[in-house]
Amino acid sequence: MAAHPDTYPAAPPQASAGDKSAPHPASGCGAPVVRAEAGVAAGSDSAAAPLARASADYLDYLRVERGLAENTVTSYARDLRTYLAFLAERGIAEPDGVTRADVEAFAAERRAGGYASSSVERALSAVKGFHRFMVAEGITRAHPTVAVKLPKKEERLPDYLSVAQVERLLDQPFAPTALGERDHAVLEVLYGCGLRVSELCGLTLRDLYLDEEFLRVVGKGSKERLVPIAGSARRALEGYLDGARAELAAHARRAAPTAAVFLNKNGSRISRQAVHALCEKYGRLAGIEGLHPHTLRHTFATHMLAGGADLRVLQEILGHASISTTQVYTHVDRTQLREVYLAAHPRA
């Protein structure tokens, strides 16, 4: 498909995973702004205002100065609201009044509530960062979390699909409608490019360089990277853009059309929730229960590594800040090798 001069730039930008840009118009994929909800105190008690104000400032710092994704800031805001409510129940209203025992009691309550260690770790990470921020800003001299250690992460390999399962998922019949073509393109791009669901939702027409077989993707922290797209993923996306997208865009309720690539039935940008739902739907039709968009990202990485992709190249494509995050897929590949060995060796 030839590039449309009115929607696609003539050549892809020179970007890398380490580049930072101005906030992308699609970043956050429709996530709510956190400032208003961050200021909600643990209760209506006005005495809790100093901690609530500090938490709002901290979230603004994460968003503006650290450049964290809106979805990440939203998660931190949720954890801090829970933390402030916990402190209010213990009668703690001032930053100076928080002790290490309070923080450890908060963590213990989360564990007792049945939360996964990853959820407890995220909540504690938000709390530690919050107290570190208050000390750095001179709001308090108390640093109750300085000696609090994060819980050890569970060693868990990512879920992924076999090649046969991927073929069942992507080769199944899709309805010959605009939504059917869109759904097929969504699944092909998730698996074919290894995108996060928020990255897929955030794609705009100006991010497509299909003649050069690249997508410009805005990932965590508004960092841009170029991701290859070829084969069936490119064909499915081109097929959707050639007709189905325009059909969906015609249903838009506002005069100015959206530049989003993937649209819902009302002509607006597709939501993360809608992508989750269509993954579950088509996964179930292919005999794969509970299919999650991130499973397709894991599957992309696992199959790339099994096919001989260099770990550093894979890190760049996935947009991982640290190579250690990408290395988890080497463990998956070793598991595959062991299974083949046990099945094939006569004395294994």
**Would you kindly state where each structural domain of the chain is located, as residue ranges?**
35-136, 163-344
What average pLDDT does range 140-151 have in this prediction? 84
Query: 337 falls in which pLDDT band (50, 70, 90)?
Result: low
Which residue among the candidates 78, 81, 100, 294 is catalytic per the annotation? 294
What's the pLDDT score for residue 328?
A: 77
Q: Is 196 a catalytic residue?
A: yes
Contact 159, 239 (CB under 8 A): no
Answer with the residue of higher pLDDT: 328 or 163.
Answer: 163
Which residue among the candidates 122, 234, 297, 303 is catalytic per the annotation? 297
What's the pLDDT score for residue 327?
A: 76
Query: 61 falls in which pLDDT band (50, 70, 90)?
Result: very high
DSSP β-bridge partners for residue 214: 209, 228
What average pLDDT does range 164-181 have in this prediction? 96
What's the pLDDT score for residue 159?
A: 85
Distance CA 47, CA 57 (A): 17
Instruction: Determine the topology of domain 163-344 in CATH.
Output: hpI Integrase; Chain A (1.10.443)
pLDDT > 90: percent of the chain: 54
DSSP 295-324: HHHHHHHHHHHHTT--HHHHHHHHT-SSHH
Q: Is 225 a catalytic residue?
A: no
What's the pLDDT score for residue 6?
A: 40
Query: 11 falls in which pLDDT band (50, 70, 90)?
Result: very low
Q: In angstroms, what is the C-alpha Rg of the chain?
A: 23
Which residue among the candidates 24, 78, 220, 276 is catalytic per the annotation? 220
DSSP 39-96: T--SSS-GGGHHHHHHHHHHHHHHHHTS---HHHHHHHHHHHHHHHHHHHHTT--SGG
Q: Mean of the per-residue pLDDT values for the chain?
A: 82
Give the other-Cβ count within 10 Å of 6's Cβ. 6
What's the pLDDT score for residue 64?
A: 86
Instruction: Determine the topology of domain 35-136 in CATH.
Output: DNA polymerase; domain 1 (1.10.150)
Which residue among the candidates 110, 128, 196, 216 is catalytic per the annotation? 196
What's the pLDDT score for residue 43?
A: 41
Q: Is 298 a catalytic residue?
A: no
What's the pLDDT score for residue 339?
A: 65
What average pLDDT does range 132-145 have in this prediction? 92
Three-class DSSP category at 103: helix
What average pLDDT does range 200-204 have in this prediction? 95
Query: 340 falls in which pLDDT band (50, 70, 90)?
Result: low
- pLDDT per residue over 237-272, tens digit each? 999 999 999 999 998 877 678 999 999 999 999 999
What's the pLDDT score for residue 18?
A: 40
Q: Is 294 a catalytic residue?
A: yes
